C-alpha cells in the first residue's frame, strides 16, 4: 500500500511563482507520508504560446527541471509533473509529463498525444493546442516502486483506446494530469475519470488546475483519486490544495480476478494511430 499525493494548483505565466507554490504543497504532502506526488497539466507555466516558447527546455536540461529535481531529491518523493513545455531537437515544443524519482533523476516522460483543438462555449471559445505543441506518439507504462504507472494528460481522457492499451501493457495506476475548462469539467470530468478507472480496473490519479488563470481561462478543479471499482476515495473540489489516498494494488487484483474483463475482451486496440 502506497500513499499518493495530488496537488491542485492555480498556475500562471510565472514559473517561479508556480514552483514556489508547488514546493510548499510538496512539503505538506511529505509530512503526510506521500511517496508519489502528482501535479496538474501546465504545472510549471500556464499561459500563451509565447509563454510556452519562452520557458521550454530540452528534456533533462534547464533551470526549471533542475529545481524540480531538487524538490524531489530533498524531500525524498517521486514527483510526476503533469506537464511542462519541452523543447524537442527539431525545434518543436511538446507538452510533456516528467517523472522524477526520489533522488531527483528523470525516470520517464510522456508527450501528450491528443491535442485539444476544440470550440467551447466559454470566454476563451477556441482552443488550438496544435498551434503551440507537437503531438506525441508513444504510449508509456513505467515500472516504479509503487506499481506500473500509465501516463496520460488531460484531453487524452476522451480516448478510451489509449487507456485500454495502458492496461494491456500492465498499468496498475493511471495518472491524468489536467487543466479541464470549467464548462467541460462540470459536464464530463468526474464521469470520464471514473469511467477510465472502471474500464481498466486501475487506480486513477487525476490532478487538476483550478480557478481563473487570466481574463478568459478558467479551470474546473475537482482533483481526485479513484479506485479500480470507480469509487472516488479523495477529491479536492475547489481551491488550491492537496489530497492523499492509500493506493492498494491488492484491491485491483481482487477486482480483476472477480471480474476478468481483460480476459473477456474480444476487441483489442493494439496501437493508437
pLDDT at residue 176, rounded to an integer: 99
Per-residue pLDDT reduced to its tens digit, 26-54: 999 999 999 999 999 999 999 999 999 99
Length of the chain: 273
Q: Judge whether 12 lies within some domain.
A: yes
Q: Judge whether 272 lies within some domain.
A: no
State the residue range of the domain holding 52: 2-264
Residue 235 catalytic? Answer: no
Cα separation of 72 and 103, whole Å?
7
pLDDT at residue 237, rounded to an integer: 97
Q: Judge whether 273 lies within some domain.
A: no
Residue 21 has pLDDT above 80, yes or no: yes
> Among the options 35, 112, 134, 148, which is catalytic?
112
> Among the options 35, 41, 202, 235, which is catalytic?
41
Per-residue pLDDT reduced to its tens digit, 183-218: 999 999 999 999 999 999 999 999 999 999 998 999
Q: Judge whether 269 lies within some domain.
A: no
Domain count, the chain: 1
Residue 119 has pLDDT above 50, yes or no: yes
pTM of the model: 0.96
pLDDT at residue 273, rounded to an integer: 34
- Contact between 221 and 189 under an 8 Å Cβ cutoff? The reply is no
Which residues are CB-contacts of 210 (< 8 A; sequence separation ≥ 6)?
8, 9, 10, 219, 220, 221, 222, 223, 236, 238, 239, 240
Cα 60–chain centre separation: 19
Q: Judge whether 270 lies within some domain.
A: no
> Among the options 154, 182, 202, 235, which is catalytic?
154
Mean pLDDT, range 210-232, rounded to an integer: 96
Q: What is the CATH number of the domain that holds 198?
A: 3.60.110.10
How many other CB atoms sit within 10 Å of the CB of residue 234? 18
- Contact between 136 and 65 under an 8 Å Cβ cutoff? The reply is no
Q: What is the DSSP secondary-structure string of 85-136?
A: EEE-TTS-EEEEEEEE-TTS-EEEEEE--S--EEE-SSSS-EEEGGGT-PPP
Mean pLDDT, range 152-156, rounded to an integer: 98
pLDDT at residue 27, rounded to an integer: 98
Q: Judge whether 157 lies within some domain.
A: yes
Q: Judge whether 192 lies within some domain.
A: yes
Q: Judge whether 173 lies within some domain.
A: yes
Amino acid at each position: 500500500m502506497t500513499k499518493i499525493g495530488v496537488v491542485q494548483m492555480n498556475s500562471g505565466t510565472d514559473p517561479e511563482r508556480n514552483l514556489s507554490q508547488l514546493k510548499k504543497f510538496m512539503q505538506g504532502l511529505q509530512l503526510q507520508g506521500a511517496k508519489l506526488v502528482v501535479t496538474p497539466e501546465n504545472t510549471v507555466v500556464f499561459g500563451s504560446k509565447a509563454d510556452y516558447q519562452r520557458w521550454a527546455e530540452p528534456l533533462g536540461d534547464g533551470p526549471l527541471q533542475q529545481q524540480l529535481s531538487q524538490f524531489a531529491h530533498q524531500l525524498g518523493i517521486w514527483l510526476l509533473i503533469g506537464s511542462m513545455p519541452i523543447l524537442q531537437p527539431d525545434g518543436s515544443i511538446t507538452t510533456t509529463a516528467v517523472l522524477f524519482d526520489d533522488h531527483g533523476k528523470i525516470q520517464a516522460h510522456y508527450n501528450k498525444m491528443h491535442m485539444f483543438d476544440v470550440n467551447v462555449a466559454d470566454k476563451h471559445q477556441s482552443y488550438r493546442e496544435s498551434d503551440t505543441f507537437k503531438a506525441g506518439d508513444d504510449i508509456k507504462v513505467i515500472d516504479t516502486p509503487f506499481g506500473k504507472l500509465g501516463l496520460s494528460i488531460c484531453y487524452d481522457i476522451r480516448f478510451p483506446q489509449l487507456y485500454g492499451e495502458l492496461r494491456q501493457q500492465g498499468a496498475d495506476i493511471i495518472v491524468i494530469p489536467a487543466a479541464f475548462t470549467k464548462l467541460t469539467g462540470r459536464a464530463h470530468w468526474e464521469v470520464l475519470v471514473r469511467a477510465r478507472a472502471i474500464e481498466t480496473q486501475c487506480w486513477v490519479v487525476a490532478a487538476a488546475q483550478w480557478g481563473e488563470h487570466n481574463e478568459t481561462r478558467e479551470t474546473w478543479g475537482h482533483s481526485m483519486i479513484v479506485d479500480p471499482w470507480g469509487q472516488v476515495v479523495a477529491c479536492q473540489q475547489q481551491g488550491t490544495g492537496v489530497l492523499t489516498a492509500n493506493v492498494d494494488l491488492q484491491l485491483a487484483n481482487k477486482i480483476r480476478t472477480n471480474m476478468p474483463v481483460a480476459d473477456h475482451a474480444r476487441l483489442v486496440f493494439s496501437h493508437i494511430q
